[in-house]
Amino acid sequence: MAADQPDSASRPRGRILIADHEQGTTIPLKFLLEQSGYTVWTASSGETALQLIVDDSPDLVLLEAMISNPDGFEICQTVRETPQLADTRILFVSAMARDVDIAKGMASGADGYITKPFSNSEIMDHVRKLLEIANGSDE
Amino acid sequence: MDPTNKFWWFAGVSIFISLLIFIALAVFFWQQLLPDQQSTLIEIIKSHFIYIFIALILFIAAIGFGLDAIFHSYILPLNRLPEEIEVIHTVNPNHRVKRDGSKLINLVIDAINDVADHYQQLENDVTARVIEAKSEVEKEKNILAVIMSELPEGVLICNRDGQILFFNKQAKRFFTGKKEDRRVDASPVKNHKPQPFPFFGLGRSVFEIIDRNLISHALDDIADKLAKETSGVASYFVLIAKDGRHLRTEMVPVLNHQRDFSGFILIISDITSQLEMNNQSDLRVQSLSGGIRTSLAGVRAAVETIMEFPNMSADQAREFTRIIYQESLKIGRLLSQHARKSPDRPRSQWPLIETRADTMLEKITVKAKHLLQVGFTPEAYDDDLQLSTDSYSFSLAVLFLLQRVYDETEVSDFSCRVHQTKEMINFDIRWQGKPIRIDTVHTWEDNVLSLPDMGLPLTLGEIIRFHDAELCPYSDTSQGWSGLRLILPALPPDSAALTRQPTIIPDSRPEFYDFDLFNQPGQDPAVDNRLLTELTYTVFDTETTGLDPRGGDEIISIGAVRIVNNHLMADDRFDQLVNPQRPLRWESIQIHGIQEKSLKHQPVIAEVLPRFHQFAEDTILVAHNAAFDMRMLQIKEAETGIRFINPVLDTLLLSSIVHPAQENHNLMTIAERLGIHVSGRHTAMGDALATANMFLKLVPLLAKKGIHTLQQAREASEKTYLARLRY
């Protein structure tokens, strides 16, 4: 629903979608990532998130597994099964923190899994690493 | 033949023969007469025919009456006797033969009636004994039944063919849904369509109430465990009753004394409500931790950002402060909500038992082939990997998945990889073909597990949840591999599984069945008049430093067993070495084989006797050559203050009452004569056991001599010659 349109031209470093239904998470995270020069969208439902991934093909998706309709795992599987989205990195940032949840997230094809609460540096490390790989494989 | 007909035959034949003789005599007489004599006789007969005719009639009548009298007083009563006797010894022992014959016959009848009296009395005695014995058994059975029915678990005992031999009230309630016991909540399970309950009763087959596959699965499991001689042999599974209740079931094998499988016990507990509670509390914990994590993430991200970017705009800073405030409020609300919920009750786990992965995979492979006609090849797994599962429902879930994947993709060849990561086990079903969508998996999770010939009235999702597992598809598109991954936490197995041992039926009757212990008449002044078979005995033996109690020889060992209700309580024993506080004589060491050093740390007699006194309290003391042992005890009276005032019986004397012609009444000779096996000769315990067995054999022999009560036994003992031998 809430889908802020960024002007992608001026921010070349990386394009990130935050898919999370909790504003308490998305607002600080968006600010943090934007301060580091990334282009950031947010989506607060599974449906919007999937739509934005297909339409705008972001480089990285920060995905809350608990997002609904469809849930995070399903979004992840769909992305992995779509060849055009092969370069899209997926990082779960989720309050589902059981070992089996993490295992399930990784099995569904995610590139990483961070449990909430996280530290900003932890997120930034993961984002940087994943986008370097993405850019590396691009070039 | 009717007696009247018999009579007429008898009379007819008799009269006919008499007439025949009479006519023959008459013909003979006629031929002897001269012709003029003959004509004179004809003349006489002709003129006086009327007299001759009357005489003839009277003669025949006399024969008839005579025959009648003989017939009624001899033949008829004799004829009746076999029938009457038969009545007495078959249908009516009260019946007596009527005295209605001749004097001689009546004597016979009297004798028969005497025998009948005797017979009736014997039969009454036997009936009384049978009733008595039956009531004992009945009492024991009732006590057993009460104990069993008080158990919270259902108990069901079956023979090897699955025939029900025993069940308690709870088991019946689980399988028939009858609410006999109100203490147990028996409300039907939500969302379950109840099915009609099967018939349930003794002698019926257990397969009528429990799925045959489930029982044979568990029996296979037990057979494996017995063959491998693992420490726990029980098999666990959950069965779903017709009303949808979840019954945690434990199957314990029953072996006979040769360790052959002869049946099984099912111990059943209802875990429905506990499982429901667990699920609810699991969900609560999950939502609580999820909520807290989410809000904390907001707080932390906001705080860290403010700290990291001190120069952010005032608007931005206000926004973040608002987030911090709101999220902290959320956490507070979550916690107070959670605190209001009732505290968690003890958890009941779905019985997850460690099974070797290879064993389980093997079984699934076989079933996949037979039931579904699909290949399932275990590909890679650690050799000694253990899976914590309810093996039946887990196997069923895997087979169900194979079937669904086959329906979806038409792939009929699967492989399987099981590998353990940190705290999880990934159980992967893999195939070459198209992947399964995660939403397809979600719909499967709502399906009830049913396969040809096999099934459980539970959904795939429930089985996964009970295993605390997760199911997700995964694929490796570059290699063309697709798969389903069951993620199982590596849980500790149920502890009960490690301890349950098979029930082995002993060769003889187990002692704890003697429930009559509960109504012993207690200390009775009339103990002397009680039957020897009813009394409680302490049969004991002592080993000593030598054979001279007065000369300072000491007890070094006391062994004793109890006899209760004519049964040897071999487990209720007193077996104690004693420090004699003096050196042992060399000769005595040769007999008992006890070395001095093994007695040094034993208690002294002053400590042992009070305990033995307690052990023997309110019993009759029995010993072989009791005078010696009693003397040994008596000598310590002054020192210990312990007096043994119990009545005493001596098997040596009892044996000489029973077999007065025998000269030798030592322990070994008597044991041999009575066919008793003696082990541990010349240990106090071994001799006490032999003496006890001997005593049990002597009691019925004494009864044959008319010695039934304690008093009779003591008096007869006194009379025997050996009783005069005193130490």
CATH number assigned to the domain comprising residue B157 = 3.30.450.20
Mind listing the pLDDT tens digit for each residue in B2-51?
Answer: 666 777 887 888 888 888 998 899 899 888 888 888 888 888 888 888 88
Q: Which residues of A touch B294 (CB under 8 A)?
A: 22, 24-25, 95, 116
Q: How far is A79 from chain B (nearest CA, A)?
A: 12
User: Chain A: residue nearest B297 by CA?
Assistant: A117
Q: What is the pLDDT at residue A138?
A: 44
* Residue A23 pLDDT greater than 80, yes or no: yes
State whether A28 and B298 contact (CB < 8 Å): yes
Q: What is the pLDDT at residue B501?
A: 64
**What is the CATH classification number for the domain harbouring B589?**
3.30.420.10
Q: What is the pLDDT at residue A6?
A: 46
Do B63 and B160 have their domain in common? no
* CA B97 – CA A54 distance, rounded (Å): 114
Do B519 and B656 have their domain in common? yes
Show which of B271, B299, B316 is a domain's final residue: B271
CB atoms within 10 A of CB B65: 11
Q: What is the pLDDT at residue B512?
A: 29
In angstroms, what CA-CA distances link A1 with A41, A49, B2, B130? 11, 9, 115, 89
Do B477 and B578 have their domain in common? no
**What is the CATH classification number for the domain harbouring B395?**
3.30.565.10
* CA B421 – CA B433 distance, rounded (Å): 26
Give A113's pLDDT tier (boundaries 50, 70, 90). very high
**B187 part of a folded domain:** no
Residue linked to tokens 């199982």: B488
Q: Which residues of A touch B326 (CB under 8 A)?
A: 24
**B497 part of a folded domain:** no
Do B32 and B14 have their domain in common? yes
Please, what are the domains in chain A?
13-138 (3.40.50.2300)
Q: What is the pLDDT at residue B353?
A: 76
Q: Which residues of A touch B288 (CB under 8 A)?
A: none
Do B436 and B524 have their domain in common? no
Do B312 and B415 have their domain in common? no
Show which of B306, B340, B374 is a domain's final residue: B340
Contact B710, B527 (CB under 8 A): yes
Provide the number of structural domains found in chain B: 5
Nearest Cα to Cα of residue B530 among B520, B539, B540 = B520
* Residue A91 pLDDT greater than 90, yes or no: yes
Nearest Cα to Cα of residue B239 among B265, B210, B262, B260 = B210
**B125 part of a folded domain:** yes
Structure tokens at B420: 């353990």
What pTM does this model have?
0.51
Q: What is the pLDDT at residue B500?
A: 61
Do B672 and B560 have their domain in common? yes
Do B367 and B219 have their domain in common? no
Q: Which of B323, B473, B489 is the closest to A99 by Cβ?
A: B489
**B501 part of a folded domain:** no
Q: How far is A124 from chain B (nearest CA, A)?
A: 12
Do B655 and B684 have their domain in common? yes
Q: Which residues of chain B have pLDDT under 50?
A: 180-188, 190, 495-498, 507-523, 723-727
Show which of B219, B245, B271 is a domain's final residue: B271
Q: What is the pLDDT at residue B341?
A: 61
State whether B438 and A73 contact (CB < 8 Å): yes
Cβ neighbors of A11 (< 8 A, separation 6 or more) are A37, A38, A39
Q: Which of B286, B304, B439 is the closest to A70 by Cβ?
A: B439
Do B618 and B695 have their domain in common? yes
Mind listing the pLDDT tens digit for each residue in A25-50?
Answer: 899 999 999 988 899 999 999 999 99
Do B45 and B92 have their domain in common? yes
Q: How far does CA B579 lie from the centroid of its chain?
A: 43
Q: What is the pLDDT at residue B339?
A: 67
DSSP assignment letter at B531 = B
Question: Which structural domain range is residue B455 located in?
Answer: 353-490
Do B102 and B164 have their domain in common? no
**B95 part of a folded domain:** yes
Q: What is the pLDDT at residue B387?
A: 84
